[in-house]
């Protein structure tokens, strides 16, 4: 299997994209495919550069057995468009922001299209409470699982439960 590089992108890289990165890493590890993927996340803005994910994202991930506490926010870099096979933006605003700075050969897709097949935006939970983070987690888990399968990889353990990765 060819090594596949995936970059998850949201606005500040502290809520949605760190969760997506953590979930996808966890699923890849469960499937025993760590050496087959390069996985990272970034933001279209640099306001939180160097900061850990939002505490609510960390808590939500932890409640599902996923540790994202070691991640640090970063802004998208020009090299990312060359280095990643697939760049998945969490919403249409981020797709547009990426498209305005990306070279034509970059593969930028809406997460809701590429991973969920629904065309939906993954809502930004930043201004809400824990329920919003749980909803985002659930959508990201479903999409990351589908994405892994769509890439031709059958997960080693699939419980069918979309609320947890355990």
| pLDDT the model gives residue 133 | 98
Is 16 part of the annotated catalytic residue set? yes
Catalytic site residue from 40, 91, 121, 124: 124
Is the separation of the CB atoms in 26 and 165 below 8 Å?
A: yes
Take residue 138 and report the two structure tokens written for it.
């659930």
* pLDDT per residue of the chain (166 residues) written in tens, 0 to 9: 679 999 999 999 999 999 999 999 999 999 999 999 999 999 999 999 999 999 999 999 999 999 999 999 999 999 999 999 999 999 999 999 999 999 999 999 999 999 999 999 999 999 999 999 999 999 999 999 999 998 865 433 333 333 334 3
Q: Which residues contact 134 (CB under 8 A, 6 or more apart)?
A: 60
Residue 20 · residue 111 · CB < 8 Å = yes
Is 158 considered catalytic here?
A: no
- Give me the pLDDT at residue 163, please: 37
How far is Cα 80 from Cα 54, in angstroms, rounded to an integer?
23
CA 56 – CA 68 distance, rounded (Å): 11
Instruction: Given the residues 10, 40, 54, 80, select the one marked as catalytic.
Output: 10
Fold of 4-150: Rossmann fold (3.40.50)
Q: What is the pTM of this model?
A: 0.91
Distance of CA 160 to the CA centre of its chain: 20
CA 145/CA 16 separation, integer angstroms = 16
- Residue 139: both structure tokens together: 């959508």
What token pair was written down for 22? 């953590």
CB under 8 A, 24+ apart: contacts of 48-52: 48/12, 48/13, 48/14, 48/73, 49/73, 49/74, 49/75, 50/74, 51/14, 52/14
Phi-psi region of 94 (alpha: psi -120 to 50; beta: other; left: phi over 0): alpha
Annotated catalytic residue 10: yes
Of 15, 16, 54, 144, the catalytic one is 16
């Amino acid at each position: 299997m060819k090594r596949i590089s995936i970059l998850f992108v949201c606005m500040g890289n502290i809520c949605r994209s760190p969760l997506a990165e953590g979930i996808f890493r966890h699923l890849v590890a469960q499937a025993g495919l760590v050496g087959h993927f390069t996985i990272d996340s970034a933001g279209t803005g640099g306001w939180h550069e160097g900061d850990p994910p939002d505490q609510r994202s960390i808590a939500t991930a932890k409640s599902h057995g996923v540790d994202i506490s070691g991640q640090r926010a970063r802004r998208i870099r020009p090299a990312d468009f060359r280095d990643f096979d697939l760049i998945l933006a969490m919403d249409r605003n981020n797709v547009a922001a990426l498209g305005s700075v990306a070279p034509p050969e970059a593969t930028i897709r809406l997460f809701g299209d590429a991973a969920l097949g629904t065309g939906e935006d993954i809502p930004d939970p930043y201004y809400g409470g824990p329920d919003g983070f749980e909803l985002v987690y659930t959508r990201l888990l479903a999409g990351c699982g589908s994405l892994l399968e769509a890439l031709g990889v059958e997960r080693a353990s699939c419980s069918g439960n979309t609320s947890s990765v355990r």
